Chain A
Amino acid sequence: MRLSAGKFGNALLAIASWCVIVYLMLPLIVIIGVSLTSANFMTFPPHGLSLKWYAKVINNPVYIDAFWLSVEISAVATAVALVLGVPAAMILVRKQFFGARAINALFLSPLILPTIVLGVAVLQFASAIGLGRSFATLLIGHSVLIIPYVIRSTLVSLAGFDLSTEEAAQDLGAGSTATMFLITLPLIKPGVIAGGLFAFIMSWINVEVSIFSSSSDLMTLPVRIFGEVQSSVDPSMAAVSALTIYLSVVVVLLLDLFIGLRRTGMT
Chain B
Amino acid sequence: MSKQDNAAPVGGIAISDRQSFALLGGAVLFMLIFFIGPLLLVLWASFNPQSGGHLANYAAIASDDYYWGVLLSTLKLGFWVTLLSLILGYVIAYYMTFHVKSQFWSRILYVVIVLPLFTSSIVRSFGWIIMLGRNGLINESLLFLHLADKPQQLLYSNGGVIVSLTYVLVPFMILTLSSALQNISASLHEAAHDLGASNLVTFFKVTLPLSVPGVIAGSLIVFTLAISAYVTPSVMSGGRQMVMPSLIYDYYMVQFNFSMGAALSIVLLISTLGLISAYMLLFRHYAAGASQGRVT
Q: A: which residues have CB within 8 A of B? A: 2, 5-6, 9-10, 13-14, 16-17, 20-21, 23-28, 30-31, 34, 42-44, 80, 83-85, 87-88, 90-98, 103, 106-118, 120-125, 127-128, 140, 143-144, 147, 151-152, 156, 163-164, 166-168, 170, 176, 179-180, 184, 201, 204-208, 211-212, 222, 225-226, 229-230, 237-238, 241, 244-245, 248-249, 251-253, 256, 261-262, 265-267
> Which 4 A-B pairs have CB atoms at the shortest separation, nearest pair first?
A167-B11, A27-B127, A114-B228, A121-B38
Closest chain B residue to A109 by CB distance? B35
Min CB–CB distance B224 → chain A (angstroms): 7
Neighbour of A21 across the interface among B20, B28, B109, B296, CB < 8 A: B109
Are A117 and B27 touching (Cβ within 8 A)?
A: no
- Contact yes or no, A117 B121, CB < 8 A: no
**B38, B200, B228, B238 — which one has the most chain A CB atoms within 10 A of its CB?**
B38
Instruction: Given the known inter-chain contacts A87-B27, A147-B31, please indicate yes or no for A20 contacting B122, CB distance below 8 A.
Output: no
B114 & A261 in contact (Cβ 8 Å cutoff): yes
Interface contact A230-B38, CB-CB below 8 Å:
no
Cβ A84 vs Cβ B26 within 8 A: yes
Residues of A within 8 A of B136 (CB): 44
Interface size on B, as a range, is 35 or more
Write the nearest CB–CB distance from B159 to chain A, whole angstroms.
14
A-B contact pairs, 29 of them (CB 8 A): A17-B92, A20-B92, A21-B92, A23-B88, A23-B167, A24-B171, A25-B112, A27-B124, A28-B127, A80-B30, A84-B30, A91-B23, A92-B24, A96-B6, A112-B272, A114-B272, A116-B230, A120-B265, A125-B37, A144-B35, A163-B9, A167-B12, A205-B123, A211-B249, A222-B122, A229-B126, A248-B118, A261-B110, A266-B114
Q: Which residue of B lies closest to A125 (CB)?
A: B38
Residues of B within 8 A of A14 (CB): 95, 99
Given A6-B198, A124-B262, A267-B294: A262 in contact with B119 (beta carbons within 8 A): no
Cross-chain contact B258 with A31 (CB below 8 angstroms): no
Residues of A within 8 A of B228 (CB): 114-117
A13 x B118 contact (CB < 8 A):
no
Q: What CA separation (Å) do A113 and B126 show in the bound complex?
A: 25
Which one of B8, B96, B252 lies within 8 Å of A212 (CB-CB)?
B252
A222 nearest CB neighbor, chain B only? B120
Q: Tell me the dominant secondary structure on chain A's binding face.
A: helix
- The answer to whether B123 touches A222 (Cβ under 8 A) is yes
Query: Is there contact, CB below 8 Å, between B110 and A112?
Result: no
Query: For chain B, what secondary structure do more than half of its interface residues adopt (helix, strand, loop), or is it mixed?
Result: helix
B1-32 contact mask (Cβ, 8 Å, vs A): 1 or 0: 10001111111111100001001101110111
Taking the closest CB of chain B, its distance from the CB of A218, in whole angstroms, is: 14
Of A83, A87, A113, A207, which is within 8 A of B230 by CB?
Answer: A207
Q: A230 to chain B: which residues have CB within 8 Å? A: 129, 235, 238
Q: Choose among B6, B20, B175 the residue with the greatest number of A CB atoms under 10 Å from its CB.
A: B20
> Which of A2, A21, A124, A168 has its CB near the most chain B CB atoms (within 10 A)?
A124
Taking CB atoms, residues of chain A closer than 8 Å to B42 are 117, 120-121, 124
B170 touches A26 (CB 8 A): no
Query: CB-nearest residue of chain A relative to B95?
Result: A17
Contact of B126 among A9, A205, A237, A252 (CB under 8 A): A237
Also in contact, A13 and B245, with CB within 8 A (given A124-B42, A207-B231, A267-B172): no
Q: Are B296 and A253 in contact (CB under 8 A)?
A: no
Residues of A within 8 A of B253 (CB): 211-212
Contact with A along B137-162 (1 / 0, CB 8 A): 10000000000000000000000000
Residues in A neighbouring B112, C-beta threshold 8 A = 21, 24-25
Q: Are A267 and B296 in contact (CB under 8 A)?
A: yes
State the Cβ distance, B179 to closest chain A Cβ, in Å: 5
Q: Considering the complex, give the chain A residue whose CB is closest to the CB of B35.
A: A144
**Does any Cβ of A come within 8 Å of B50's Cβ?**
no
B180's nearest neighbour on chain A, judged by CB, is A267
Given A87-B23, A94-B6, A237-B126: A205 and B118 within 8 A (CB)?
A: yes
Of the candidates A28, A98, A124, which one forms a contact with B119 in the assembled complex, judged by CB atoms under 8 Å apart? A28
